[in-house]
Amino acid sequence: MNEYIITSTNINQLAGELLNEGYNVVAEAEDGTAFIAVAAGSNVILNPFGKPTNLSPKQYIFPKTETLFYYKKSQTDVEIIDPTGLGHKTVIFGTKPCDSAANKILAKVFNWDYKDEFFNKRVENTVVIGLKCGYRDAQCFCTSVGLSPESGEGSDVFLTPLENGDYLAQTITEKGAKFVEEHKKMFDAISADKNKPVPMPEAPAKKFDAAKVKVWLDSNFENEFWDGLGDLCLGCAQCAYVCPTCHCFDIVDENFDYTSGRRVKNWDCCQFTMFTKHASGHNPRSVQSDRFRQRVNHKFKYYPDRFDMILCTGCGRCSRGCGVGMDISEIVQAIDNLK
């Protein structure tokens, strides 16, 4: 790991230079709803003490809609045409640890036997500049899922805000080191007197013991705990879509006209009634509580069983965003407190 200092001004300069080099530069939108592609280097805002954006930056490695291929039909024949535009170099500025960590978690399912190159190529071509997090609220629980507000997990370069307004930049991966090397005039050497980090609030106290919860989940699929749990859930997809690790998707064909169209991969959500509905009309998860049970189990049991990782980074977006106050950390905490 190499360490450098980068000034606040240089961050914007660097962003500007990257734009000139043809990179996609992504940072938090001013209104805090999402991460967006910025048009000018000065638009890059770093927000270590601010609330996480409503929508995670998952869009940039797993877009909400993605063309898988185009097709052209003629008489009885069909031609399949590959999509373009993959592999655009991107730099994302200022993802908090609960966002940066998601890439490694998602890489597991997207490379399970079959390699989803749409995902892999995007990750390969993206440099993640993570940011130490100073935000705390009742919905944060990164420490309960093995992360922390200072974790560089998933970042290529990790920034720590310093008292004088500069940032300490640590290269976490080879990609990060190469990136800094290629833009080294923006980075200064580290020096002891410039190196005082801004004091951060204490890390959130652990809300639950994920390992203990998993043991309960292993043998309590039919427990009455689940009854009525989803009664107040509205069954929208907000929690899944804002989540940095939710990845269920739908594949549909969309026609442009009678002879051509595309096949597209769109975000989907297990909370929708139609998600598991069979063509015969049979729906294995016909009640919202069943669907909600699936969400908790997938994140805290099935994914760990299969890939040894929890499908959650504790960012709290789902709970903050839910219009009716469904809070997954409260529910998992309730499981931990059972018996």
Partner 1 sequence: MAQLVETAKELLKSGKVSYIIGYTAHGDNGTKPFIARTEADAEKLVFNHHCVNNLSVYINKADIPENGNIGIIAKGCDIRTITMLVQENQIKREHIYIIGVNCNGQVKDIGMNWEKENVAQKCALCEVRTPALYDVLVGDLEDFEKPEPTTMQLIQQIEAMTPKERWAYWQEQFDKCIKCYACRQACPLCYCDQCIVDKNEPQWIETSPTSRGNLSWNIIRALHQSGRCVGCGECSRVCPMGIPIGILNVKMNMISMRDFGFKPGMNINESTLVGSYNFTEKENFIR
Partner 2 sequence: MLTIENIYKPDLVEIIDIIQETPDIQTFKLKFKDPEVQKNYSFKAGQFAEYSVFGEGECTFCIASPPTRMEFLECSFKAAGKVTKAMSRMNVGDTMGLRGPYGNWFPIEQMKGKNVVFIAGGIGLAPVRCIIKNVLDLRSEFKDVTIVYGARSVNDLVYKYELEEWKNMPDVKTVVTVDPGGETPEWTGEVGFVPTIVEKVAPSGEDTVAIICGPPIMIKYTFPVLEKLGFKDDNIITTLENRMKCGLGKCGRCNVGNIYVCKDGPVFNLTQMKTLPDEY
Binding residues vs partner 1 (CB under 8 A): 31, 33-34, 54-55, 64-65, 138, 228, 230-232, 234-238, 240-242, 250, 252, 254, 264, 266-267, 269, 272, 274, 287-289, 320-321, 323-325
Nearer to partner 2, 19 or 217 (CB): 217
Nearer to partner 1, 54 or 173 (CB): 54
248 scored as a contact of partner 2 (CB under 8 A): yes
Q: Residue 8 CB, nearest distance to partner 1 (Å)?
A: 27
271 scored as a contact of partner 2 (CB under 8 A): no
Nearer to partner 1, 2 or 283 (CB): 283
Q: Which of residues 112-141 bind partner 2 (CB under 8 A)?
A: 112-118, 120-121
Nearer to partner 2, 129 or 210 (CB): 210
261 scored as a contact of partner 2 (CB under 8 A): yes
Instruction: Find how far residue 7's CA is from the centre of its chain.
Output: 27
Nearer to partner 2, 11 or 269 (CB): 269
275 scored as a contact of partner 2 (CB under 8 A): yes
Which listed residue (285, 296, 317, 326) binds partner 2 by CB under 8 A?
285
191 scored as a contact of partner 2 (CB under 8 A): no
57: tokens are 């930056």
Residue 132 binding target from partner 2, partner 1, none, CB below 5 to 8 Å by type: none
Binding site for partner 2 (CB under 8 A): 68-69, 71, 73, 76-78, 80, 82-84, 86, 109-110, 112-118, 120-121, 221-222, 247-253, 255, 261, 263, 265, 268, 270, 275-280, 282, 284-285, 290, 294, 297-298, 301-302, 305-306
